[in-house]
Amino acid sequence: MKIKKPFLIAEIGINHNGDVELAKNLILNAKKAGFDSVKFQKRTIDLVYSKEILDQKRESPWGSTQRQQKEGLEFGFDEYKEIDNYCKKLEIEWFASAWDIDSLYFLDKFKCKYQKVASAMIVDLNFLKEIAKRKKHTFISTGMSTKEDIDNAVQIFRESSCSFELMHCISTYPMEPKLANLDTINALKENYKCDVGYSGHENGVVISIAALFMGITSLERHITLDRSMYGSDQSASLEISGMMNLTESIDKVIISVGEKKLGVVFEDEIPIAKKLRAHIKK
Query: In CATH, what number is assigned to the domain containing residue 270?
Result: 3.20.20.70
| Cis peptide bond upstream of 174, omega within 30 | yes
Three-class secondary structure of residue 67 per DSSP = helix
For 64, the domain range is: 7-276
- Asked if the structure places residue 1 within a domain, the reply is no
- Mean pLDDT of all residues in 211-238: 95
User: What distance in Å separates the CA atoms of residue 51 and residue 4, rounded to the nearest whole number?
Assistant: 47
pLDDT at 276: 97
- Mean pLDDT of all residues in 88-108: 98
Q: What is the pTM of this model?
A: 0.95
Q: Tell me whether residue 223 is exposed, middle or buried, using C-beta atoms within 10 angstroms of its C-beta: 0 to 12, 13 to 18, 19 or more.
A: buried
Per-residue pLDDT for 282 more than 80?
Answer: no
Band (18; pLDDT cuts 50, 70, 90) = very high
User: What distance in Å separates the CA atoms of residue 241 and residue 27, rounded to the nearest whole number?
Assistant: 15
**Contact in structure between 47 and 17 (CB atoms under 8 Å):** no
| Type of residue found at 29 | N
User: What distance in Å separates the CA atoms of residue 33 and residue 190, rounded to the nearest whole number?
Assistant: 32
pLDDT at 120: 97
- Asked if the structure places residue 282 within a domain, the reply is no
Band (152; pLDDT cuts 50, 70, 90) = very high
For the four alpha carbons of 203, 71, 113 and 187, in that order, the dihedral sign comes to positive
Per-residue pLDDT for 1 more than 90?
Answer: no
- Asked if the structure places residue 281 within a domain, the reply is no
- Asked if the structure places residue 217 within a domain, the reply is yes
CA atoms within 13 A on the CB side of 56: 8
pLDDT at 208: 98
User: What distance in Å separates the CA atoms of residue 69 and residue 56, rounded to the nearest whole number?
Assistant: 11
- Mean pLDDT of all residues in 193-222: 97
- Mean pLDDT of all residues in 194-218: 97
- Read off the pLDDT of residues 25-64 as tens digits, 9 standing for 90 and up: 999 999 999 999 999 999 999 999 999 999 999 999 999 9
For the four alpha carbons of 266, 267, 269 and 275, in that order, the dihedral sign comes to positive
pLDDT at 279: 95
| DSSP code of residue 211 | H
- Mean pLDDT of all residues in 207-226: 97
- Asked if the structure places residue 57 within a domain, the reply is yes
Q: Identify any residues that bridge with 200 across adjacent strands, giving them in sequence order.
A: 221
- Asked if the structure places residue 2 within a domain, the reply is no
Percentage with pLDDT > 70 across the chain: 100
Per-residue pLDDT for 277 more than 80?
Answer: yes
Structural domain count of the chain:
1
pLDDT at 136: 98
